[in-house]
Each structure stands twice: as C-alpha cells, then as structure tokens.
Amino acid sequence: MTEHNTKKIFEANHTATQARWIYIALVFAIGVITKVSGVSNVKFPKQLVAGLFLLAIANNSFWYVFRWLRPEKNHQNAQILYRTTFLQYVVDLSITTIVIHFAGGIESISFIFFFFVIVSSSFIYGQGGVFAISLGAIFLYNALIYAEYFQLISTYPRYIFSDLTVHHSLDAVAVNTFTVSMVLLTTALFIGYLSRLRKMQEERILEEKDEKIRETKKTEEIRSRFITVLTHQLRTPLTHIKLALANFSESGEVAAEPGQKLLADASFSVERILALVDRLVKIKDLETIKEHFDKDKIISNSI
C-alpha cells in the first residue's frame, strides 16, 4: 500500500467518522418527526436505541484508534486500517438494515441510507469495492424482507393505518426487493464509474507532477554541470593570467607609473573575476546541501 493510498484512506475515514454523526442524528430526527406527526407507528425498542448509542461511541473511538495507529508511518498498521475500514462499512450496512426493520420493513424508505454507505465507500475503494459494498446492501435488504415474508422475524407496521398483509404478499415482496436491488445496483455502478474516473484523474495529476519534478531535476543538473564546467574553465586561465601579471610586475620591466597602474588594475580585475567564480561555486554547494537536506526531511517524514 503506497503512502498516497494510506493518506487517502486515513482522510476518508476521518470524513466518514464525521458523517456518521450526521447519519445517527438523522435517524433519530426522522423517527421523532414521524412519531410526532401521529401517523407513524415506528417502534424504538431498547435494543435499537442501545445499538445506535453503541455505534455513536464506537464511531467516536474509530478516529482516535486511527490516530493511534499512525498508518502513515507504519505499513502493518496501514493494513490494519484498511481492514478496519471494511469492517466499518459492514457495521454501517448492518445498522441500516436494523433501522429498516424497525421502521416498517417493506413499507420503509430507510433503504436510502444505504446510498450514504455506497457513496462514502467510493472514497476508499475502486469500482470493484463499491460494487461489493452494494451487493452486501442488496443481500441484507433481501434477507430482511424475505425473513419478514416467511415470518422468521417480527414485522412492524410503518403507519397506524398500515396493512400487515403487504409484508406477507409474495408479489409485493418480489416487486419491492427487485426494485430496491436494481436501484442500489445502478447507484453502485454509477458511483463506481465516477470513482474510476476520479482515480484516473488522480493518477494523471500524479504523473504530471512527477514529470514536472523530473524536468526540474534535469534542468537543475544541467545548470549545475554548466556552473561546474564554467568555473573550472574560467579559474584555470585566470589563475595563469594572475601569475603572469604578478611575475611581470615583479620583474621590473615596467618601471613607469602608468604601466604599473595598468598592471595593478589588471591584477585587481582578475581577483574580482576569481572572487565571482568562487561565489558561484559556493552558491552551487549551498544549493546541493539544501537539496540533500530537503530529501532527508521528506524521507524522515515518510518513515
């Protein structure tokens, strides 16, 4: 698992953790509003309330667990994070199925909460993973509705005027499960397709970024080589000129003051050029040290 994927999973889990608070609050809000309306017969058994409460506690704990694992610095912990993420989605699907059951089963429209799980999974998994999550949602929904149909579990009316015979009507059950399954499957295919497009775009952006880095590095290498060659080619003849001027000045062949002044000016100019060459060399060395320091910093942060 690459560092980029680990970071993406970590951020997606953080977002999913925050989104679950909205999900839990929404479930309670819908239940309260429909109950206050006077037409709803939705039950809130202690088991469901306790389950949602435990989900809230576990959800809040997930984020602290993720931070404690520090997956960006440990490959093994990154694998644990990846598996834990899948477990979260399984829990989300299971809780949604329980909510549908107590919200009226076949009469409930709470299956729309499956959409939140499918959409959030697209931030971590590819097209295949999103499709697998949607198949899990379809399986749990069908298992619930047919379990109510065969009276393997209790049925709860959605409204005070509900007719429970719809829960045990094969035609109604078949049409409902087929429709919901097709809606969930179509949603998964669409979201999976968007996930694949987003992944391709991310890969293209990373490739362009890597290409720019390679071009920048190549340019820096050319510039560094040019400076090295230039300074070497300049230093050697300038050093010879400096020595020649010094010997010529010390020989006494130029006794006149104007000639001595010209030699001094020439020597001074040569010294200035040599100083500029030395400065170029120092700047190049400092840039090389900075480049190695930045690389070491990046490597240390990624460990």
| Helices and strands: H and E segment counts in the chain | 7, 0
What is the rounded end-to-end Cα distance, in angstroms, of the chain? 14
Segments making up each domain of the chain, as ranges? 3-207, 211-302
| Angle subtended by helix axes 75-102 and 127-149, to nearest 10 | 30
- 12 close to 122: Cβ distance less than 8 angstroms: no
Write b or e for each residue in 10-32: b if 16 or more Cβ atoms lie within 10 A of its Cβ, otherwise e: bebbeebbebbeebbeebeebbe
Helix, strand, coil shares, percent, the chain, to 5: 85, 0, 15
* The predicted structure's pLDDT at residue 271: 80
State percent of the chain over pLDDT 90. Answer: 13
Other Cβ atoms less than 10 A from the Cβ of 145: the count is 22
**pLDDT top residue among 250 and 105:** 105
pLDDT tens column, 154-177:
888 877 777 778 888 999 999 999
125-145 mean pLDDT? 91
CA distance 174 to 157: 18
**pLDDT value at 300 more than 50:** no
The pLDDT tens digits for 23-57 are 677 767 776 776 676 656 665 556 566 666 766 67
The predicted pLDDT at position 65 comes to 65
Residue 182 has pLDDT above 90, yes or no: yes
Return the pLDDT at 270.
76
Query: What does pLDDT average to over the chain?
Result: 76
Confidence tier at 91 by pLDDT (50, 70, 90): confident
Long-range contacts of 231-237, Cβ-Cβ distance < 8 Å, separation of 24 or more: 231/277, 231/280, 231/281, 234/273, 234/277, 235/274, 235/277
Token pair recorded at residue 2: 């690459």
pLDDT at 68 over 70: no
Q: In the predicted model, what is the mean pLDDT of residues 137-145? A: 96
Lowest mean pLDDT among 9-23, 67-81, 133-147: 67-81
pTM across the whole model: 0.64
* pLDDT tens column, 199-213: 788 778 878 888 888
The tokens for 147 are: 């379990």
| 116, pLDDT greater than 80 | yes
Confidence of residue 292 (pLDDT cuts 50, 70, 90): low
The answer to whether residue 119 scores a pLDDT higher than 90 is: no
- Average pLDDT, stretch 245-252? 69
How far is the C-alpha of 88 from the C-alpha of 68, rounded, in Å? Answer: 17
pLDDT bin (cut points 50, 70, 90) of residue 301 is: very low
What's the DSSP call for residue 39? S
